[in-house]
Amino acid sequence: MKVGLKDEYLTCGNIPVDCIGKDTFLLLIRDQSKVVRFKRNNDGEIVRLQFHYRQFFKDTNN
């Protein structure tokens, strides 16, 4: 899953994304709503993304 910013809006390919709370977003995938959350460390930096029952660490190579 590649998540980015375009014109100050969160993007995820061609998947519609809506902000529903702090660091929490709703994606519409194949007519199903899925919640995505950004997880922060103690310094407030985003370090991983929570999607369904999985967590993906931020790729720091890009």
46-51: strand order across its sheet: 17-21, 24-29, 32-40, 46-51, 54-57
CA dist list (Å): 39 to 23, 32, 44, 54: 8, 23, 9, 12
pLDDT at 7 over 80: no
Q: Which tens digit of pLDDT belongs to each residue from 17-51?
A: 888 999 998 888 888 888 989 999 999 998 998 98
pLDDT at residue 10 in the model: 60
Q: Where are the domains of the chain?
A: 4-57
Does the structure show a pLDDT above 80 at 16?
A: no
Q: Is the pTM of this model over 0.85?
A: no
